[in-house]
Chain A
Amino acid sequence: MLYLQLFYTFFKIGLFGFGGGYAMLSMIEAEVVKNHQWITSAEFADIVAISQVTPGPIAVNSATYIGYTATGSVWGSVLATLGVCTPSLILMLLISRFYIKMKDNAYMANIMRTLRPVVIGLILAAALLLFTPDNFIDWKSYLFFGACLAAALLRVSPILLIVLAGIAGYFVY
């Protein structure tokens, strides 16, 4: 039952996951942290951090990690990962088959336009949802947040940022 639920939940995330990894995060948070409570908000932040310093799409990384954590079994990982990728696999096969008809599609262009502000809103929500007592434990957390945001705006790479924040955390806490 738990395995089916994992597959179904990640299938849904894959099917509605428009706008790339960060936009999918809010859906993963809503489903996995809030709805099913398979992991805590702090664990979720940890997975995102780990995803930044390991290769591969963030949605696949989260699915694999959460699948194992929720079930304690490799099969949980397999099902969650297949769940998040199956919609992509099916849709892209269909699109590839009917390739010529999809070119310069007015429907596609307009849907992308209406999706854009929604996707940005989803990313903002994903960030806001991380402002929990789990992740922001004291005033120093806000200092870390501010410094990292400033560094990100100055185009410091995400990998370097995570590593530096980790080193700083080790010395401060």
Chain B
Amino acid sequence: MLKNYLALFFSFLKIGCFTFGGGYAMIPVIQKEVIEKRKWVGKAEFLQMLALSQSSPGPMAVNTAVMVGYRLYKTTGAVISFLGTVLPSFIILLLIAMFFPLIYHDPAVVSIFKGIRPAVAALILHPVYNFSKEVTYWEYPVFFAVAAAVYFGFSPVYFIVIAILIGTGYTIYRNKK
């Protein structure tokens, strides 16, 4: 049993180590490790897990890891795959947080980050452009209203809760008809 737990842990540790750029970059890596190499879950089942992970709040890689871990060894498995996924980024970012302040005021570092900060704004804006090409007419006003409201200080939580309530209400209404 311990051997199986270790295999699960190291698989997700590997996934946590080599997935740069967040959620979507992780999918092919998880897929390769979990379906092709280890054959822990079938492809159809994995796609379903992926859909559920995407529809749930929180980091998608963590969600997927927990589902695969649970599928294999129940709650113990979920905790093991969770730790494997999170530990690499936890350790790396902790080290950066500890040592980055030591070089933060170095003139070279200051110049480098002056160039990087506007790039970050562009990177975040990029997916908005992609989405906006497929936005339908009723989504436009919602999209702009939310962006403006959050920009001017309203908490994003309100809009997420409202969207969930409307989605739920609409389903109840449709079911009654």
Q: Enumerate chain A interface residues (CB-CB to B < 8 A).
A: 12, 14-18, 20-22, 25-27, 30, 34, 42, 45-46, 48-61, 64-65, 67-69, 74, 77, 81, 84-85, 87-89, 91-93, 95-97, 102-103, 106-108, 110-118, 120-131, 134-137, 141-142, 144-146, 148-149, 151-153, 157-159, 161-162, 165-170, 172-173
Contact = CB atoms under 8 A, between A and B. Distances in A.
B78 interface: yes
Given A57-B61, A118-B163, A166-B112, A45 B19 contact: no
Interface stretch (B1-9, B32-40, B113-121): B113-121
The 9 closest A-B pairs by CB, nearest first: A169-B115, A56-B89, A121-B146, A88-B58, A111-B167, A57-B59, A165-B119, A148-B122, A125-B150
Given A50-B100, A55-B19, A56-B16, 8 more contacts: A52-B21, A64-B89, A121-B142, A135-B117, A135-B120, A165-B115, A165-B119, A170-B112
Task: Indicate the size class of the contact surface on chain B.
Answer: 35 or more
**DSSP majority for the B interface?**
helix
A158 B20 CA distance: 9
B93 A61 contact: yes
Contact of A52 (B20, B58, B155, B166): B20
